[in-house]
Amino acid sequence: MDPAKSRTLYLTMDTDWCSEDVLQNALALFQTHDLPCTIFVTGSYATLQHYDSSRLEIGLHPNFNDATAAGYEAKLRALRDMYPQAEGVASHAMLSSTLILDLFKRYGFKYERNWLVYKNPEATAFYHYNGLLRLPIFWEDDIWFSTEPGAPFSAALLPAGRFRYIFNFHPLHLYLNTESSAHYQAFKPFQREPEKLAGYIGKGYGARAFFEDLARHIKKHGLATGLLREFVDS
């Protein structure tokens, strides 16, 4: 590994059917801080028809929750047809099984990101028996505001030595600065009604505030950042 990248953060997002406006707002936040993003999509977005592939990578985010095993392939194929360039995949709700992992491999994906190891510094990426690289999520916004709402970003979260951590966000939580599970439940019925969402933007320490603090820490300490395809290639 390049020594300069021995302390690297990979920032990702799951769209979870957010509106175009909400997605644009989240992407603007990444652009403001000059941060690359790997975004796992749940459907077609006009915003992603033309993008800078050096700063943005698209992966797939299929929802298998309401499907039987026989329907998994159709769900995956529908997204694959929209974004044939995708090298990575992450199931909604991190649903995984041997059947699903083998399906991912058969469709030619290089990696999947279905493994949550919240704030566990010991967990590292590994190759599944079928050759698919399994990447661990170190931190995720909805887990954070559900288990430790309001806990600010701390430099202590990142060790002094080498690390390669994935931080996962959702456009909706960045847009609304989601502060807690109660806050999320309050606006959840309106998540597909953007005209109503603006009234629910959190004023306290929420997901957006955490992102901003993380972004400032990255810049201050010159930490490396990258796309998940670069995780695979390094």
Residue linked to tokens 């701390």: 154
Which CATH number is 3-233 given? 3.20.20.370
User: Using one digit for the tens of pLDDT, what is the confidence trace for 66-78?
Assistant: 999 999 999 999 9
% pLDDT > 90, the chain: 94
Predicted confidence at residue 233, as pLDDT, reads 82
More confident residue, 4 or 10: 10
Q: What is the pTM of this model?
A: 0.97
For residue 76, give Cα distances in angstroms to 69, 89, 234.
12, 9, 27
Coil/strand/helix, residue 104: helix
Predicted confidence at residue 3, as pLDDT, reads 53
Mean of pLDDT values over 157-181: 97
- Contact in structure between 187 and 158 (CB atoms under 8 Å): no
Q: Which of 214, 229, 132 is nearest to 168 (CA)?
A: 214
Predicted confidence at residue 4, as pLDDT, reads 55
Does residue 2 have a pLDDT over 70?
no
Which DSSP string do the residues of 162-206 spell out, in sequence order? Answer: -EEEEEEE-HHHHHHT--SHHHHHHHGGGTT-HHHHGGG---SS-
For the chain, the structural domain boundaries read 3-233
Q: Which of 124, 88, 126 is nearest to 105 (CA)?
A: 88
Q: How far apart are CA 152 and CA 207, in angstroms?
A: 10
- Residues 6+ away with beta carbon under 8 Å from 23: 15, 45, 47, 48, 171
